[in-house]
Structure 1
Amino acid sequence: MPGAPPVTLALDTATPFLTLAVMWPGGERQFSEEVGRAHAERLADAVRAMFGEAGLPFRADRIVIGTGPGSYTGVRVGASYALGLGRAWGVPVLGVSTLEGLVRGPGGETPEGRVAVSQDARRGQVYGAMYGVRGGAVSDVIHPPAKRPLEEFEALAAGLPHHRDTPPDGLALLKAGLGHGRAEWSLAYL
């Protein structure tokens, strides 16, 4: 599609939520639904439906993937699908931590400044990070994603908004991918 405006697809399957977003010069659309472990069954149809609802042909110029942390199967479902589409469409697949999709917090409010985010990693542990947020997306990493005892992370995050175990926001993930997504990425598991 030479000369066509760029379209970006973002997807995340690392949590119990299927999280998607698409952005193009004329607008943006996102989708998030709790699917438990049914990512593989729901992902392809949900992506096609989102493109259809947006009135876009089923093709993007780049893809952003949430690389986890998450369940082994969930993370791999999204990564496999993104890599397959990337290869079929001949476009780059940029990876960012799923934790970057948590910065908007419950209810989708858009914070500005420093934000702590975490996911339950079981046995009193969390996978957490602290970010600087501008424009609803991560602008800089204050503390990179790491597995820590919950008490230790809460002490580190004292005084900051802390979004814990919230559904990822597709547009926050997409914007992070556009801002600093990496072509060379690896998956992270809880």
Structure 2
Amino acid sequence: MLVLSIDTSGPACDVAIVEDEAVLAEAKDEMVRGQDARLPGLVDETVRAAGVTLSDIDRLAVVTGPGSFTGVRVGISFARGLALALGKPCIGVTSLEAALPTGQQGSAIVLLPAKRRPPDISYWAQRFRSGDAVTEPEEIGLDALAAELKAHPHFVYGDGLVALEDALGGANIHPARPTAARAAVIALRADPDKMKASPVYVRAPDAALPGGKRP
């Protein structure tokens, strides 16, 4: 099965073509904004590098967040539109699922930074058991997270976790970031009816409308 996968949920535009867990081609441009302008060209370049055409694609995968509000919208809109045009299913994978390494065993928690500025440090979090998600993504504060991990140890994977390492006194934390390639591998075996490409925001966006109102 051939999967085209997209991740614009973070500070990059990331595309991969995967066939039966083998990465045929992948490309990643680091960028905080402008994914909407770069994504179509990057998809075209990656498809060409893989030596396939869009009509060869069996399904699409897209990282659905949590992450950048605008980035999540860009990736999902593009992936769903392309899937509709091709008549193929589109699989949604959370950014936390897309960061968990293949073959992980035991209890694990994946964490990505939500609020980075002290004292309001928080993380997006999702818990797993032998690779399967057992909770939905949520936002959790540093103190609550540190208390949970001290009471119930987990394998910890994620990015931007220096503050957590300090709070836990040097806990064994494994660096991990979401990738389009990992999302594609998950999508290979996913049920399209159960993993739909819908945005996972967890909380309201930080942007405000004129007058200070939240959207």
Q: Same fold (TM over 0.5)?
A: yes
Q: How far apart, in 1, do the equivalents of 2:70 and 2:110 lie? A: 22
Match of 1:107 in 2: none
Q: TM-score, normalised by structure 1?
A: 0.80
Structure 1 residues 162 and 23: CA distance shift in structure 2, 3 A: closer
Structure 1 residues 174 and 20: CA distance shift in structure 2, 3 A: same
Q: Of the two, which has the highest radius of gyration?
A: 2
Match of 1:116 in 2: 109
Q: Report the identity percentage.
A: 27
Q: How far apart, in 1, do the equivalents of 2:191 and 2:13 lie? A: 20
Match of 2:139 in 1: 147
Q: Structure 1: which 5+ residue stretches go unaligned?
A: 1-5, 105-109, 134-138
Alignment of 1:1-190 (within 5 A): 6-24=1-19, 27-28=22-23, 29-59=25-55, 60-104=57-101, 112-113=104-105, 114-122=107-115, 123-133=120-130, 139-157=131-149, 158-165=153-160, 166-180=176-190, 182-183=192-193, 184-189=196-201
Question: Shift of residue 140 of structure 1?
Answer: 0.8
Q: TM-score, normalised by structure 2?
A: 0.72
Letter in 1 for 2:66: P
Match of 1:136 in 2: none
Q: How far apart, in 2, do the equivalents of 1:26 and 1:173 lie? A: 10
Count of residue correspondences: 175
Q: Per-residue displacement from partner, 1:87-122 (whole Å, max 9, x unpaired)?
A: 110111111211111113xxxxx5621432112221
Structure 1 residues 31 and 150: CA distance shift in structure 2, 3 A: farther
Verify the 8 A CA contact 2:109 2:154 in the aligned structure 1.
Answer: no
Which is strand-richer, 1 or 2? 1
Question: Shift of residue 82 of structure 1?
Answer: 0.4
Question: Shift of residue 168 of structure 1?
Answer: 1.4
Structure 1 residues 19 and 176: CA distance shift in structure 2, 3 A: same
Q: Per-residue displacement from partner, 1:40-89 (whole Å, max 9, x unpaired)?
A: 12111111111111111133111111111122211110011001101110
Q: Considering only aligned residues, what root-mean-square deviation do their CA atoms show, in Å?
A: 2.2
Letter in 2 for 1:70: G
Q: Per-residue displacement from partner, 1:11-55 (whole Å, max 9, x unpaired)?
A: 111111222221125942333332111211211111111111111
